[in-house]
Amino acid sequence: MTDLGSQLLEGDGKAFGKMTFGARTGPVGSAYFGTTQRTFRRVYPFTEQATLVTGEVLLTDETTGLQTRFKAGDSGFVTKGTVVLWEIVSPIFIKHYFAVA
């Protein structure tokens, strides 16, 4: 998780993913990202639209304090530079995202 620019706060740090378009360091890309239950903080290095495939997560925008709970099938949007606290509340979480740097 830390090599993806996140600060692990709780959990084992196991994550997985697969690019479906573009490259991890490219200006535009899409991918699957998954992780086991954990809590982490991330400053978004890109703007992202994501759809939750499996699991449940509580996201807190640490600038505004807005909390949003997402379940499988829900979609959301995060702007580059936003500080987000992730609380994965299910044993496993998988999302598919589209990102623009």
Give the number of domains in the chain.
1
pTM: 0.88
Cross-sheet strand order for the sheet of 38-43: 6-11, 38-43, 83-88, 56-61, 67-71
Residue 21 domain-assigned? yes
42, part of any domain: yes
Q: Who contacts 32 (Cβ-Cβ below 8 Å, separation ≥6)?
A: 17, 18, 20, 53, 94, 95, 96
Q: What DSSP designation does 94 have? A: E
Q: What is the pLDDT of residues 17-65, one digit of tens each?
A: 999 999 877 899 999 999 999 999 999 989 999 999 999 999 999 999 9
Tens-place pLDDT, residues 8-27: 899 886 889 999 999 877 89
Is 82 within the bounds of a domain? yes
Residue 9: which CATH number?
A: 2.60.120.10
Domain that holds residue 60: 2-96
